[in-house]
Amino acid sequence: MGKIIEQKRGQLTYRIKEKSLELLGYQIDQTELRLLPYIQFVMVNEQLIDVAKINAEERKILQKWRDKELIEGGATGISITKKFWNILTELIFLGYVDLT
């Protein structure tokens, strides 16, 4: 029997990379995985990004999502597509909930 490796919350794994490739067309990195829960929080609350809580690398990710037409707006108000909502919840589930 093989050794069981325990996944930690927010850890980028092979299955998350593969699922993001399937859903987004590219493999996300650790920063993007960790940005997803913040975006989920923003969307179910005030729908405003606090610019003090994101860095330059995360701003580039937000721009990538805008370019892919997954989100609109930003610090003055953000909206996301239902498609992107489903993608981010799937990736959050794999990265923070289903840790097997």
Show the domain range for 89.
Answer: 14-97
Is residue 6 a part of any domain in this protein? no
Is residue 48 a part of any domain in this protein? yes
Is residue 71 a part of any domain in this protein? yes
DSSP 8-state code for residue 8: P
Is residue 1 a part of any domain in this protein? no
Give me the number of domains the chain comprises.
1
What is the value of pTM for the model shown? 0.86
**Is 21 in a helix, a strand, or coil?**
helix
pLDDT value, residue 74: 77
Contact (Cβ atoms closer than 8 angstroms) between residue 46 and residue 60? no
Who contacts 65 (Cβ-Cβ below 8 Å, separation ≥6)? 71, 84
Whether the per-residue pLDDT at 2 is higher than 70: the answer is no
Whether the per-residue pLDDT at 88 is higher than 80: the answer is yes
Entry field: residues in the chain: 100
Q: Which has more pLDDT, 63 or 9? A: 63
Contact (Cβ atoms closer than 8 angstroms) between residue 28 and residue 91? yes
Is residue 84 a part of any domain in this protein? yes
Is residue 39 a part of any domain in this protein? yes
Whether the per-residue pLDDT at 70 is higher than 90: the answer is yes
pLDDT value, residue 4: 52
Is residue 7 a part of any domain in this protein? no
